[in-house]
């Protein structure tokens, strides 16, 4: 079962934040549709390769279908079962991203990190047909979907001139809680961008 809840584990010398899998439901349907379409193409190739014989055309067609099946399964599982974890220590932050096929863990020290920013989704110019009764094909909705598909994360900082983006699908209300937990652990070692002052104050007012 895919977990979406953000959980916190306080260890002896670290804080582990598990972000789970936070893919939007509509993106899950998009990934499933792509998988079914690609598998359908592979099935056509497979049927064309029958009957199995020494014929080179059939051999290459069968090999192509097998390759397409593998590619479709790899892309589908990599996206659907993607998870993130953030490990906080007195030395720095580690970002751990995992799929069924790979695990990537990168660590950054507090001294080398720039301020942490909440960037959310980048601003997008509205489609000319937004709100128009003539937008029969849902171009505005499709553009928002494409934007979500290529989004790399809502939190970022700079380290040695490189932008580090993470925390996919973590929006402001969850990000605020995460920041409070991290600050409890490391205090002023975590530097924040100016936008956080307004965000955190707004949250306190709402409470």
Reduced 3-state DSSP string for 24-48? CHHHHHHHHHHHHHHHHHHHHHHHH
Least confident of 87-96, 147-156, 190-199: 147-156
- Run of H or E including 79: helix 56-80
Distance CA 72, CA 114 (A): 38
14 by Cβ neighbours in 10 Å (0-12 / 13-18 / 19+) ranks as: middle
Is the pLDDT score of 14 beyond 60?
yes
Query: Tens of pLDDT along 159-186?
Result: 988 999 999 888 888 899 999 999 999 9
206 pLDDT band (50/70/90 cuts)?
very low
Distance CA 179, CA 191 (A): 10
For the chain, the structural domain boundaries read 29-79
Q: What letter would DSSP give residue 205?
A: H
Name 87's bridge partners: 16, 94
Give the model's pLDDT for residue 141.
Answer: 44
- Report the length, in residues, of the chain: 207
Arithmetic mean of pLDDT, 117-122: 73
Distance CA 137, CA 130 (A): 11
Distance CA 179, CA 196 (A): 9
Give the model's pLDDT for residue 53.
Answer: 55
Give ∠ CA 26-31-34 in degrees, rounded to 5.
125
Backbone CA torsion sign across 52, 54, 57, 61: positive
User: Does residue 22 contact residue 97 with C-beta atoms inside 8 Å?
Assistant: no
What's the chain's average pLDDT? Answer: 78
More confident residue, 124 or 95: 95
């Amino acid at each position: 079962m895919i977990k979406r809840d953000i959980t916190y584990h306080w260890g002896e010398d670290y804080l582990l934040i598990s972000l789970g899998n936070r893919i939007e439901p509509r993106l899950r349907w998009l990934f499933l549709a792509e998988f079914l379409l690609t598998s359908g193409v592979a099935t056509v190739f497979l049927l064309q390769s029958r009957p199995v014989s020494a014929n080179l055309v059939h051999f290459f067609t069968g090999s192509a279908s097998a390759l397409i099946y593998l590619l479709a399964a790899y892309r589908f599982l990599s996206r659907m079962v993607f998870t993130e974890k953030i490990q906080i220590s007195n030395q720095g932050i580690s970002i751990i991203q995992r799929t069924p096929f790979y695990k990537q863990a990168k660590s950054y020290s507090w001294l080398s990190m720039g301020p942490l920013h909440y960037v959310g989704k980048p601003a997008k110019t509205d489609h000319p047909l937004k709100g128009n009764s003539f937008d029969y094909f849902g171009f505005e909705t499709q553009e928002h979907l494409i934007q979500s598909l290529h989004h790399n994360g809502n939190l970022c900082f700079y380290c040695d001139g490189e932008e580090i983006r993470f925390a996919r699908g973590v929006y402001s209300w969850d990000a605020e809680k995460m920041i409070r937990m991290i600050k409890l652990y490391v205090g002023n070692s975590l530097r924040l961008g100016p936008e956080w002052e307004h965000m955190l104050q707004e949250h306190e007012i709402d409470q």
